[in-house]
Amino acid sequence: MLERLNQAMEHIERHLDESVDVAELARIATTSEYHLRRMFSALAGMPLSEYIRRRRLTVAGAEVLAGGETLLEIAVRYGYGSGEAFARAFRAMHGTGPGEARRTGAALVSQPRLTFRLTVEGSTSMQYRVVDRPAFTVAGFKTRVPLVHSGPNQAIIDFVRGLGKQALEQLGKLSDQEPHGIVAVCDDLDPSRAEGTELDYYQAVITAASAPSDVTTLPVPSGTWAVFTTSGPAPQAIQELWRDVFTEWFPSNPYRSRPGPEILRTDLSADGTKADAELWLPVERESTR
C-alpha cells in the first residue's frame, strides 16, 4: 500500500502545473478515492487537497524568486485565474505577496515532498475483529459539530449535556443491536477530514425496531465492519485509536474504508478520566489488481 501511495505522490509532482485528478491518484494507489483521502489525511496530518496546494505554491515560490517569468504567467501555470487570486494564496502560505517576495528576495515557506515509509515502533498489537452486518438503523439525537483531532470537542460535550438524563435513558431502551447501549455516531464528514470541518454527530442507539418520531434516524445498509477496542485515558486513547487504525492497521491489512457512519461505544470511569472504547468502521476488502 505504501509503495502505491508513493507512486501517487510522484504523479502529483509531475502534474503540479496541471489539474490533479484525485480519481486518477486513487487508480494509481489501487484504492477508492474515499479511502485515499482518508488514508492520506491520517498519514500526512493534512488533507490531500491542502498538500497539493502547498506543493504548487512551493514550486511557484521558487519561480517567483527566479524572476524568469511574469507573476501572471506563473499564476496561470499553477491554476490561478488571476494575479489577485494567486497573490492571496501566495500570501496565505508565505506571509508575503509575490511581488514583494521578488523585489526583496524574501524567505519563503517550503512544503517538502512527501514520501511514505513504514516505521516499526514498539510491540503493541491492535485488537480487532471483522464482522458482516445486516442493515440496521441509527436512532437518536443529531447535531452538526466541527471536527476536532486532539483534545475535547466542546460542541459535542455541550450537545450531550443539553439532552438530559431522562431522554438518554428512554433512548437506551431502544438498543437491540451490537454495539449495545448509547453510542456516538459520526457521519457526513468532509472528504478532507480537515480540522474544523463539520460533520453530523448522533448520540444514538443501534436498532432494528421502529424508532419514535421524536428522534432522528439514519438507515445503514448491510456491509462489513472492522471493530477495534482500546482502553486508556479519555479522550486521548480514543483519538489515538482513530489515528492508529489509519496509519497502522489499514496499510497492513487487505481492507479499505468505505462510505458510512463511524460508530463509537465508550464506557467511562466514574471520574471520567479513563475509557474502554469500541470503534466500528465500515470497510471493504481491497480488490486484487
Name the class of domain 2-104: mainly alpha
Q: Of 217 and 4, which is predicted with more confidence?
A: 217
pLDDT at 121 over 70: no
CA-based nearest residue to 239, from 139, 175, 120, 150: 150
Q: What is the pLDDT of residue 286?
A: 82
Q: What is the pLDDT of residue 119?
A: 57
Q: Of 51 and 149, which is predicted with more confidence?
A: 51
The model's pLDDT over 191-212, given as tens digits with 9 standing for 90+, comes to: 777 788 999 999 999 999 888 8
Write the CB contacts of 127 (distance below 8 Å, at least 6 apart in sequence).
228, 229, 230
Answer yes or no: are the C-beta atoms of 37 and 48 closer than 8 Å.
yes
Q: What is the pLDDT of residue 125?
A: 57
Domains of the chain by residue range: 2-104, 128-285
| Helices vs. strands in the chain: H and E counts, helices first | 11, 9
Asked if the domains 2-104 and 128-285 are classified in one and the same CATH topology, the answer is no
CB burial string 54-64: b at 16+ within 10 A, e below: bbbbbbbbebb
Q: Of 149 and 178, which is predicted with more confidence?
A: 178
pTM of the model: 0.73
Cis, peptide link before residue 179, omega less than 30° from 0 = yes
The model's pLDDT over 24-57, given as tens digits with 9 standing for 90+, comes to: 999 999 989 988 998 888 788 788 999 999 999 9
Domain with residues 128-285, CATH architecture? Alpha-Beta Barrel (3.20)
Instruction: Give the chain's mean pLDDT.
Output: 90
For the chain, helix, strand, coil in percent to 5 are 40, 25, 35
Q: What percent of the chain has pLDDT over 70?
A: 96
Answer yes or no: are the C-beta atoms of 202 and 160 closer than 8 Å.
no
Q: What is the pLDDT of residue 240?
A: 83
